[in-house]
Structure 1
Amino acid sequence: MAALLATTMTVTLAACGDNSEENASNAQTVPPATAAVSPRGTAQPVGAVEPQGPASALAVSGATTAVLGVDGHSVTLHSGVGAADAPGPKVVQLPMSDVVALIADGDGFLGVGPDGLIAIAADGAVTQWRQLIDSPLSLAVTGDKTLVGTSTGKILVFPADRKAPSKTIGGFVRVDQILVAPDTSPDVAGQVSVLDRAQSAILPVDIDSGEHKAALRAGNGGTNGVVDHFGRILVTGTRDNEIYAYYGAPIVQRLRRPVAASPYALAYDDRRDLLWVSSTSSNEAVAYDLSRGDAKERARIATVGQVSAMAVDPVTGRLLLVSARGDGLQSVPAELTP
C-alpha cells in the first residue's frame, strides 16, 4: 500500500457571505464521479447474505434495517438482521414515487421525493407530508429541522412540523449529501456541511444565517461522505482512488490516503474507530483504523457486487452492505473482522 498522504491544506473554493449564488454560477465543476461496474464471479461474500432487490440506500434504526429500492417506490424493513430467529423482511410500498434518499430518524426512517417527505416506522406505518420539491437529492436532520438538498444547488429547511420549508439556502451547484456533526463532537457539534459532487468539494454552511463558510476540495471526484462521533468528515474520492478526512471550523483537510480502486460507499464504526470503504472494482470492503489518525488497514472482506450503501449497527457493530444490482443485503458480525 502506498504511503499515507497527510495535509493541513486550507485552500478555499469561494468567498463566504452573500455572494454565494454568484460563486456557484462561476464555480469550476467536474462530471460527478460514479462507481466502477462490479465484476461477477468474485469471492464469496463474508458473513450472511439475505435476498434483497436492487437498492440505493441503507439505514439502521434500533433493531431494524431499512433498504430503499432503486426505483424509489418501496422500502424493505429487515428486523433483527443476523439473528437466528429474525422474522422475514417486510416490503412497504410507498404512497409517493421516486423517493431518492433515506435516513434513520428517531425510532424509524425518513425519506424524500419530489412529492414531499415521508416517515416509515419500524412496523411499516407511513406518515407523509405532501410538498412539491424540485429535484430532491439528499436529506438530513439537525435539531428539530429537516434539511433537503437538491440537484439545483439548494437546501430547503423544514421546521419541526415538516409542512413546508421555512427557508431556502442556495449557492451550491448540487447538494448530493448533507453531513451533520453529532452532539458528541467536541468542537464542531451541529456543524452542517454539503458534499457537492459537481464541485468535488465539502462546503460548510450556517443553517440559521444561510452563510457559506470556507470550503475545501475533495479531490477530483468525491462521491460519498460520513461524519463520525468526533465530527470528522470522511469522504470517498472515487475517481482518484483516495479517501479524505476533514475537521474543524474552518475545516482543514487532515487526511488524504490512497485506497483500493473505485472507493464508493463508506460507513463508520464508532465503537472501534474504524472506517469501512467499499471498492466496487474488486467487490471488497476495507476497514481503516483512524484511532491514531494514520488510517492503518485493519481488515479486508469480500462483498456482494455493486455495493451502493453501507452502515454499521451502532449497538452490535455489525457491518451491513447492500447491492445496487440486487445481489442482496450482506451482514457481517463484528467478530468476523479484527
Structure 2
Amino acid sequence: MRVRTRITALLVAVATASALTACSQSDDGPAQNVPTVTPATAASSPVGVTAPAGVVVGADAATAVVAAQTGPSRAAVLANNGETVQIFAAPGTPGAPAPVSVKVPRLAALTASGDGFVGAGPNGIVRIAADGSTTEQQADLSGAQSVAVTADGRTLVGTDRGHVLVLDRDGKEQRDIGGFVRVDDITVAPPTAGDRAGQIVVLDRAQSALTPIDIDSGDLKAALRAGDGATNSIVDRFGRILVAGTRNNEVYAFYGQPIVMRMRAPVADSPYALAYDNQRKLLWVSSTAANSITAYDVSTGETIEKHRIASVPQVTSMDVDPASGALLVASGRDDALQVVPADAVK
C-alpha cells in the first residue's frame, strides 16, 4: 500500500521557540523560564499479534541497537540495565556466531564509531572494539543520557541537566554547553551532507525542540519546535534531521542553517524509533502501539509509504547495517533482536 502525504513547509510560528540562543557555562543548571512539555513516551505494545518480519535472534532486552559504520557486518546491543553490550557478527544470517557479551560500567547511551562503538555513562566513556575489547576513559558525566561522535573524533555527551559535554579523544572535557532543559539526542551530519557536514543538532524532549550548536564557540543557534512530543532524532546522508513526533503521531524533517522544517507528515500508532537506509533512501519508523514498522520514501519532497512490516514488541531503537542493508530492531521488553534482510522487503 502507498500513501502520499503532501509535505507542509512550516516556516512560521514554530520559530517562536528559538529562545535557546545563548551558550551557558558548566555551573548553569537546566534552562529556566522556557516553554516545556511533559516528555513524551512510546505507547505500550500489544501482545499476541503478528509474528515479526525477518529473523528474530536472542538478545538482551535493550535500549539501543547500533550498526558498525565500517567493516564487516556487526551490531551492538545495549541492555536495559546498561551493564552489558552484546556484539553480533553478521546478525540474523545462517551460521552466525553467538554474540560476544561485554561487561561495561553502567552506560546510558551507545553510538557507532568506525568499526566499533562508543558508550557514555555517569563514570565516563567506554570504547568497544569490533572484537569486544574495551577501553575506558573515566570522567564525571553525571546524568549522561545521549552520546554522539564527531568526524574529528570528539565525543559529545548530553545530560539530563541540559548540558552537552565536549570531550577530546582522550576523554578530557573541552567545553560544557548549557542552556537546555535536557539533552535527549545529538545528531552529527555526516561528510556526505555537503555544506551541512558536521552540523550538530540537539533534541530536547522537555521543550520538544531542535537546536543546532557550535561546539567550538559554545553558541546555541536558533531553535525550532518539533510538535509537542518529539522523542527521537536521526540524521541522514543529506544532513536532514528526521524526528519522531510520538505524542502527535507525526514525523518531521528539518534542514538548513538556520534549520527549517521541511516535512510534517502523519504516522499512526505512536511513532518512536527511527532508522534511515542511505542506500535505498528509506526512512523506517516504528509504531509501538501496533507492533509495526513503516518505510517511507522521502526523497521527492513527499512521504510515500513503500513497506509496512510487523515488529517485535516495544521497539526502543533501530538502525540499518550499511554492510548488509539489513534493518536491525531492538525490543525493550522481549529478549529479541529483529533482523530484516534487505531482500526480505520487496
TM-score (norm 1): 0.96
Give runs of aligned pairs for residues 21-170 of structure 1, distance below 5 A: 24-61=31-68, 62=71, 63-94=73-104, 96-97=105-106, 99-142=107-150, 143-162=152-171, 164-170=172-178
Distance 1:307 1:19, change over 3 A: closer
| Structure 2: gaps (5+ residues) | none
1:34 partner letter: T
Whole-angstrom distance in 2 between the partners of 1:23 and 1:118: 26
Q: Match of 2:252?
A: 244
Distance 1:161 1:44, change over 3 A: same
User: How far did 1:19 drift?
Assistant: 7.3
Distance 1:333 1:183, change over 3 A: same
| Residue 328 (1) aligns with residue 330 (2) | no
- Alpha carbons 1:305, 1:327 under 8 Å: kept: no
- Alpha carbons 2:7, 2:262 under 8 Å: kept: no
Whole-angstrom distance in 1 between the partners of 2:280 and 2:241: 17
Whole-angstrom distance in 1 between the partners of 2:269 and 2:51: 19
Whole-angstrom distance in 1 between the partners of 2:22 and 2:54: 49
2:32 partner letter: S
Deviates more, 1:301-310 or 1:56-65: 56-65
- Alpha carbons 1:203, 1:215 under 8 Å: kept: yes
| Residue 312 (1) aligns with residue 320 (2) | yes
Aligned CA-pair RMSD: 1.6
User: How far did 1:17 drift?
Assistant: 3.2
Which SS does the other structure have where 2:77 is aligned?
A: strand
Alpha-carbon deviations, 1:93-134, whole Å to 9, x = none?
11x12x110111122111011110001111111110111212
Whole-angstrom distance in 2 between the partners of 1:252 and 1:176: 20
| Residue 278 (1) aligns with residue 286 (2) | yes
2:11 partner letter: M
Q: Match of 1:219?
A: 227
Dislocated runs of 4+, deviation >2 Å: 1-5, 15-24
1:267 partner letter: A
Percent identity at matched positions? 51
- Alpha carbons 2:22, 2:179 under 8 Å: kept: no
- Alpha carbons 2:147, 2:185 under 8 Å: kept: yes
| Structure 1: gaps (5+ residues) | none
Whole-angstrom distance in 2 between the partners of 1:86 and 1:152: 41
2:22 maps to which of 17, 22, 32: 17
Give runs of aligned pairs for residues 226-241 of structure 1, distance below 5 A: 226-241=234-249
- Alpha carbons 2:60, 2:335 under 8 Å: kept: yes
- Alpha carbons 2:183, 2:204 under 8 Å: kept: yes
User: How far did 1:82 drift?
Assistant: 2.5
- Alpha carbons 1:58, 1:310 under 8 Å: kept: yes
Whole-angstrom distance in 2 between the partners of 1:244 and 1:23: 25
Aligned residue pairs total 335
TM-score (norm 2): 0.93
2:310 partner letter: A
Which SS does the other structure have where 1:185 is aligned?
A: helix
